[in-house]
Amino acid sequence: MNDWLIDDDRLSLERKSLLPGAGFFTPDSFDAEQDEREAQEAIEGAATVVVADPDADGLACVALLREVHGDAALVPAGPHEMDEAIGYLAEYADEGVDAYICDLCPDERDDLEGLEELVERADSVSWFDHHQWDDEIAERVRDAGVRLVVGDSEEECTADVTLRSVDYTFDDRFAELAAVTRDHDLWLREDPRSDDLADYAHWEEPEEYVAVVREHGADLSEEVLEFLAERRVEKEALVEKAVERAELKEVDGVTVGVTYGRCSQNEVAEALREQGADASVIVKPAGSASIRGTDAFQRCHEVAGQVNGGGHPKAAGCKPDIYDDMLDYAHHWTTQGAVTKQVIVEAFRNLPETDDDEGIENER
C-alpha cells in the first residue's frame, strides 16, 4: 500500500475525521515485535520498572515514581496491551526488580497471565489504580503477592493513589500535578490546566511528557503552551465535525448523544451535554468508542462492560468484538460506525434497573 493513501497531511479535514490514523494500518504483528524489542531494551538492567497507561494520569505516576527511584524504566501499555506488558516484565526483568503497574485494570482473567512469574523474580510488585475492579480479580492479584491499592474512582485518579501510597515526601508541585491530573481524569473541569496536561500527554512522546512534568509540574512552559495552541486548531475543527454529526437518542429515559469521528472525545461529550445529553457515545474510526456520562448518568462502566470494555462511572471505553475482516472496517468507515453505534446503544437499553432510575425520571 502506498504511504500517500494514509498520509494525514494530504487528507481534507472531512476525510481525516472519517478515517483512522496511519498507525491503524500497521499490522499488529509488526507492532507487537517492535513493542517487545522496545520493552526488552527498557526492562533489562533496570532496578525499577513501571508499566503504565501512557495518558496524563498514567504518566504522572511515572513522574512520581522516578522522583522516588531515579531512572525507573517505562513500559507504556494501554488496557488491551496489559497482558503483553506484564509478560515482558516476567521474561526480561532482572531478579530483585521493583515493579509497578499503574492506571490499568484487568477486564479479563487472561490479563494476569505472567503475573505470578513476575512476583517470583521481583523484589516487590505494586499495582496502583482507580478503575472499577472485579472483586475476584482483585483477590487473585493480591493472592499472587502484589500490593494492590485501588482508589475511589469518583474521588481519586491513579496519580493521587500513587502519591499517597509511596513512602516518600514529594515536593508540593507533585501534589498539585496529581490534583490537576485528577481534574481532567475525573472530568471535573475546574482547572484549565488539566486540559493542557491531557492534550500534551496525547500529542507528546511519553518520555518527554514525563521529563517536562517532573520539571514543571502542572504549570507547563510557554514553549509547550505554544505547541498546544498550534495543535488545537485542527483538534477543534475535528471536534466540530463530530458534534455536527451527532444525534440525540432517548433510551429508557436517558438522553444519549451518539456520534462518530476521529476527535477529542471529552470536548465532544461536553458539547453534547450542553445540548441536553445525559450520556455520550463517541465512536472512533479505529473501531473503539468512548462513553462519557454526567451527573444524571453515572453507569458508563456498566455499558462498556457489555461490549468488551470498562472504565469509570462517568468515563469508559470499549471496542465491540464485531470486526472480522477489512470489509467490516470498510463498512464501519462508510456508514460512520453504524453497527458499533447500534451495539452500544443496545448496551444502554440492556442495563439492569436500579433504584436511581426512578429518580432520573423525576428530575425530568
Q: Concatenate the DSSP letters of all residues of 146-198 into one string.
A: -EEEE--TTT--HHHHHHHHSSS---HHHHHHHHHHHHHHTT----THHHHHH
> Model confidence at 237, in pLDDT bands (50, 70, 90)?
very high
The CATH fold of domain 44-220: Rossmann fold (3.40.50)
Residue 307 pLDDT = 95
Q: Does domain 238-363 have CATH number 3.10.310.30?
A: yes
Residue 360 pLDDT = 46
Domain spans of the chain, in order of start: 44-220, 238-363
Average pLDDT, the chain: 92
| Residue bearing the bigger pLDDT, 10 or 217 | 217
The one-letter amino acid code at 138 reads: A
Residue 187 pLDDT = 81
| Residue bearing the bigger pLDDT, 92 or 22 | 92
Give the integer Cα–Cα distance in Å for 153 and 307.
Answer: 20
Least-confidence region, from 15-29, 160-174, 198-212, 266-280: 15-29
Q: What is the pLDDT of residues 131-171, one digit of tens each?
A: 989 899 999 999 999 999 999 988 999 999 999 999 999 99
Give the integer Cα–Cα distance in Å for 46 and 29.
Answer: 26
- Percent of the chain residues topping a pLDDT of 70: 96
Q: Is the pTM of this model over 0.85?
A: no
Is the pLDDT at 207 greater than 60? The verdict is yes
Residue 362 pLDDT = 42
Q: What is the DSSP string of 250-314?
A: EETTEEEEEEESSS-HHHHHHHHHHTT-SEEEEE-TTS-EEEE-BTTB--HHHHHHTTTEEE-SS
Considering only CA atoms, which of 57, 58, 39 is closest in space to residue 49?
A: 39
Q: What is the pLDDT of residues 100-142, one digit of tens each?
A: 999 999 876 566 889 999 999 999 999 999 998 989 999 999 9
- The bridge status of strand 309-311 relative to strand 315-318 is antiparallel
Residue 355 pLDDT = 64
Q: What are residue 258's phi and psi, to 5 degrees?
A: -125, 130
With b for 16 or more beta-carbon neighbours within 10 A and e for fewer, the 111-121 pattern comes to bbebbebbbeb
Query: Is 115:121 a contact under the CB 8 Å cutoff?
Result: no
Give the integer Cα–Cα distance in Å for 16 and 208.
Answer: 27
Section 160-189 average pLDDT:
95
